[in-house]
Amino acid sequence: MGKQFKFGVLLAVALLFSIVSVACRMDNQSFNIGVLQWSENIEIFNQTYESFIAGLNDKGYKLGVNLKIAYKNVEQNEIVAIKTVQKMISDKIDLIVALGGGSCIASLKATEGKEVPIVCSVGSDLRYINIMKNYYNSGKNITGISMKIPLREQFLMIKKVLPKLQKLGILYCAEMPQMVALGRKAIALAPEFGWTPLPVFISKNELPQLEKVIKTLTSKIDAIYISVDPILLEPENLKKIIRVCDENRTPVITGTKESVEAGALMALHCDFSEIGRQTAHIVSQVLKKVDINRIPITEPTITILSLNLKKAQQLSIQIDHNIILQAENIFD
């Protein structure tokens, strides 16, 4: 009886030691994340990345302690993006965080046939480009957060700011599948608000003619709408668009605070710092071995209105006082 008791005690101690050892190994586990950023020239990507790192830190994933980040900015080059992801895979990263729709598409191409999880952020609704089947199951090794503010919500706000609008120019870059899909949705929705849509697709090869394209468009429209297009919202391109539109007294409507500060009239947009923290939450779930296919797409939790009252005054646009009170960012 004494021997059996001693054996039982030893067995219990051994089992307890085993459990503690496993727990310690889990606590000491280190993770290697690859981050593919589509552009550093557009501030929303930088904001998202910085808050993403801060969000991971808040959740206990600390750089240099239990976290390594392999970061690469590909500056809108899909070939570089694909090669970068392939190298990340060979370096045995645990998952890929794709910042931007272009990064997301490139990551999918580079990981085809592999089981590397991908978390997309700062991109349009992933369903627009057939990446996700629905919000609850991607059918692929991918999930993420959309920066998409519903078009209907954006158009409702445009209607309030510009109640006399009749002809809406819709400008988007043909190089980006998600922008093309979003542009087509905008074209289909505009008539519901009593607007005539005048869409213009522009390719990268046509960018040297951007000012000419905008000048021709402004002669036919009352306002121009540009979504969060990473090519058209590059500072130099946006500057050209706003300059020509100002010369022709045409308000510009976009999807970022920075573009409104740069001279666009208005934007209804998400909080990109919050997008970064939401991305960190999804990544922490994946690192905890939650099935990525069961992590639904997350949508922005915060919607912000930005208005440029100085531009409104320059263009003789009177904005209802109640609308101004709703704006979180006012530039005057």
Instruction: Say if residues 95 and 118 touch (Cβ distance below 8 Å).
Output: yes
Confidence of residue 241 (pLDDT cuts 50, 70, 90): very high
User: What pLDDT, in 10s, does the model give residues 148-191?
Assistant: 788 999 999 999 999 999 999 999 888 777 788 889 999 999 99
Residues 6+ apart with CB under 8 A from 1: none
CA dihedral 302→303→309→315, nearest 10 degrees, is 160
What does pTM read for this prediction? 0.80
Question: What's the CATH fold of domain 28-148+271-302?
Answer: Rossmann fold (3.40.50)
* 268, pLDDT greater than 90: yes
User: What pLDDT, in 10s, does the model give residues 243-262?
Assistant: 999 999 999 999 999 999 99
Tell me how far apart the alpha carbons of residues 18 and 26 are, in angstroms, rounded to a whole number: 12
Q: Where are the domains of the chain?
A: 28-148+271-302, 151-270+304-331
* 138, pLDDT greater than 80: no
Q: Do the domains 151-270+304-331 and 28-148+271-302 match in fold?
A: yes
**Distance from the Cα of residue 10 to its chain's centroid:** 55
* 16, pLDDT greater than 70: no
User: What pLDDT, in 10s, does the model give residues 62-111?
Assistant: 999 999 999 999 999 999 999 999 999 999 999 999 999 889 989 989 99
* 225, pLDDT greater than 80: yes
DSSP sequence for 236-300: HHHHHHHHHHHHTT--EEES-HHHHHHT-SEEEEE-HHHHHHHHHHHHHHHHTT--GGGSPPB--
Question: What's the CATH fold of domain 151-270+304-331?
Answer: Rossmann fold (3.40.50)
